[in-house]
Copies of this chain bind each other. A is one copy, B any other.
Amino acid sequence: MDKVRITVGSGGKKTQYFINNEIISRFSNEKLNILADGAHIDNNMVITTDSFTVYPPFFDGGDIGMLSVCGMINDLASMGAEPKFMTMSLIIEEGFPFIDLKNILDSMKKITDKHNIQLVAGDTKVVEKGKLDGIIINVTGIGYRYRDIFLPAKEYKVGDKVILTGPVGEHSVAVLKSRGIVEFDGEIISDVAPLWDPVRKLIDANVRVKFIRDVTRGGLSAVLNEFAFFSKTKIEIYEDEIPINEKVLSICDIYGFDIYSLACEGRLVIVVDSEDVENTLYLLSQNDLTRDSKIIGRIIELSKPLVIMNTQYGGKIIMDMPSGEILPRIC
């Protein structure tokens, strides 16, 4: 591999390979090697970083500003941390419409205000026209562990339930439509949303949450494989139970996309102790952002990491980490 390919940033197998061979191998330390959505930098504080390159910067249901703040909040929520501070680095192409930039900043402010997140440091770079395509935003978030929860947890049991908080793929399809790559009648709205509130509700209710991850690049397949890998468990997924937006599914069928590899920006995979699953579903159903939550699987063995899917057609298949070319700049 002499040149960097798109797949290095896809969130799938090639990304994993790159991270293991070029990042972990060089910068190895116990905080980094956990490979979570962020890192505990001391007893109470969690940090996460992401650069957002979504194109176009505005799409049905959101924009790059909203996406960047939601992505940060969801990464912290996945660590059980309450968002508190953020930094923002803007990288802008010369000639980018100022009104778009203002709208993007307004959109960020709306969500930071709602969550009492303080922007504390930033940076602005402008790159010559033609040397960048629009705008890139990096957001680094700092959160505090909430009620001493430490996620991802270390202990897993056979029977722990895997929950998905809503249908997958809407964000990807909304962006691809705005980019002119897919066409269809009607509207699909990106699922982009900040998910700290529903997570906090679970922690407040003493639900034994063991693992949370937001479904982003690499889609549901990637998150489930990351969970199996992290927890060293075999999990079984019931395809029939996966919440699906029928319109998204039919677009996937027409264009040949794998719906389980499509990025979301407002869905979580949550693993809870089986005794707490009813309460979890009840609490999630109370929030508009997670009201379509369903149990989609469970841990079946504490053994070699593996994701097995019971397909709609009755057979079992291995649900692998996505490995092909996935469309770039969805997030």
Contact = CB atoms under 8 A, between A and B. Distances in A.
A2 B142 contact: no
Contacts of A51: 89, 91, 123, 125, 136, 138
Interface string A3-39: 1111111100001001100110011010110000011
Interface stretch (A41-49, A159-167, A298-306): A41-49
A109 interface: yes
A15 to B, nearest CB: 7
Name the interface size band of chain A. Answer: 35 or more
Given A5-B126, A41-B85, 15 more contacts: A3-B97, A3-B98, A4-B92, A4-B96, A5-B94, A7-B126, A29-B118, A29-B119, A39-B120, A41-B120, A49-B140, A53-B127, A87-B140, A127-B133, A131-B132
Residue with the greatest number of chain B CB neighbours at <10 A, chosen from A1, A7, A53, A123:
A123
Nearest to A136: B91
B123 A87 contact: no
A126 B328 contact: yes
B138 A89 contact: yes
Q: How many copies does the complex hold?
A: 2
Contacts of A18: 124
Contacts of A3: 94-98
Nearest to A128: B328
Interface stretch (A100-108, A240-248, A287-295, A309-317): A100-108
Contact of A6 (B6, B85, B94): B94
A99 interface: yes
A126 B126 CA distance: 19
Contacts of A47: 85, 87, 120-121, 140, 142
A177 interface: no
A120 B132 CA distance: 28
A233 interface: no
Contacts of A38: 121
Contacts of A49: 87-89, 121-123, 138, 140
